[in-house]
Amino acid sequence: DAGVIQSPRHEVTEMGQEVTLRCKPISGHNSLFWYRQTMMRGLELLIYFNNNVPIDDSGMPEDRFSAKMPNASFSTLKIQPSEPRDSAVYFCASSLKGSGGGPNEQYFGPGTRLTVT
């Protein structure tokens, strides 16, 4: 079975440019997460969707960041305009939130390494 798919795997862009990261969650999963990983701050949750609806975006750094999930099989994370401090690895993860509501394991994609110069 295919895991979480992310594209592109690497992105190098200049400051001020728009960046769009893409994610396809595992089929059948109903929860999707965007994380950012840096050496200084580790893994940080940016936003969480459940059944395509954003539930918690408190981790989104600022208005330059936005995320959408138009359907159950696709999500985007957009940075506009990008800045050098946005350089990081961005991970998408998905999980199946059970009817009992308890937490379950999250499956991560391979990540997108973003470099903003």
In the complex, which residues of this chain contact other proteins (CB under 8 A)?
A: 4, 31, 33, 42-43, 45, 48, 50, 55-56, 91, 93, 95, 97, 101-103, 105-111
Taking alpha carbons only, the member of 35, 29, 22, 20 closest to residue 2 is 29
Q: How far is residue 9's CA from residue 58's CA, in Å, rounded to a whole number? A: 25
Pick 17 or 51: Cβ nearer other proteins: 51
Closest residue by Cα to residue 80 from 8, 9, 21, 6? 21
Q: Least distance in Å: CB of 33 to other proteins?
A: 8
Q: How far is the CB of 16 from other proteins (least distance, A)?
A: 28
DSSP 81: S
* 31 or 82: CB nearest other proteins: 31
Of 30 and 66, which CB lies nearer to other proteins in the complex structure? 30
Tell me how far, at minimum, the Cβ of 103 lies from other proteins, in Å.
4
Q: Please report, for residues 25, 49, 55, 81, 89, the alpha-carbon distance to residue 29 in angstroms, rounded to integers and kept in the order given.
A: 7, 11, 15, 31, 23
